A = this chain, B = another copy of it.
């Protein structure tokens, strides 16, 4: 038995930020912009474009202003960016970013290690940015990391996930994306955590954000869709593998999410072949193989279309 699937799903492309931030090689600004142009051309309408963080902390995102200035502006296309604080927010606002993203972790040790703040301090920093966004009438959403487990602490209490999700929504973010930061979630756990969340919040207030580190992401997303969620975040090609572990998978691949959704009869507005073409383009630009299985299965068919 299954719940009713949503008729359409919003697939949010996070490759230009969550993907490229974690790739071993720093991409030139022009290639980033070209990537985004091609993603939009495939039909994607929400793109996580960059992060306004300190360039010393995340060098691959040092060109946030330049990327933003060069974004192809098209009606209906929403560009979002990570902003860690009001300083980052001011930069993103000046750069014309459409939607801000605040972020924090459920795990104290991950929070300390990642942003050198306690969870309470991180929530306060989010609150400050969200308040500024509200004052400016600027849309803002949130990432909550290590939902399903933390590389330092291990298990995460679902009650803590529910409480912090509620706290972020109470601040006024449009949704909370549930980050499976290190790709540890399995479908039974996803069902459990989402079940507890849906006792308190609406499915439209939650985003599915899985990394395919252990091959479970598509099944986890299926569980989320069956429970009524309709926003999925993913990265073209499965970019975003850990830069220190070659071969490790990153975000779930956007093309595999689209393939899943179209197979379920769920509309996305994305032309899958065009999107796969973007994956081939990335491999030709970087000279590296992406982790997407679908991309490699379809590569020869696609190349026969263009040669």
Contact = CB atoms under 8 A, between A and B. Distances in A.
Interface of A: 1-3, 183, 186-189, 191, 212-216, 218-219, 221-223, 226, 245, 247-249, 253, 256, 259-260, 262-265, 289, 291-294, 296-298, 300
B187 A247 contact: no
Given A218-B215, A219-B218, A186 B297 contact: no
Among A1, A216, A223, A292, max chain B CB count under 10 A is at A216
B1 A215 contact: no
Contact of A293 (B187, B212, B263): B212
Contacts of A298: 214
12 contacts: A1-B226, A187-B222, A187-B263, A188-B264, A214-B293, A215-B256, A215-B259, A216-B260, A219-B260, A222-B222, A247-B296, A248-B293
A7 B297 CA distance: 34
A294 B215 contact: yes
A259 B218 contact: no
B218 A263 contact: no
Contacts of A187: 222, 260, 263-264
A205 to B, nearest CB: 21
A193 to B, nearest CB: 12
Contacts of A221: 219
Contacts of A289: 247
Contacts of A3: 1
Nearest to A227: B1
A264 B223 CA distance: 12
A88 B80 CA distance: 62
Nearest to A225: B187
Nearest to A223: B222
A58 B212 CA distance: 34
B263 A186 contact: yes
Contacts of A294: 214-215
Q: Which 10 A-B pairs have the closest CB atoms?
A: A186-B263, A219-B219, A215-B293, A188-B264, A215-B256, A214-B294, A218-B219, A1-B1, A213-B297, A219-B222
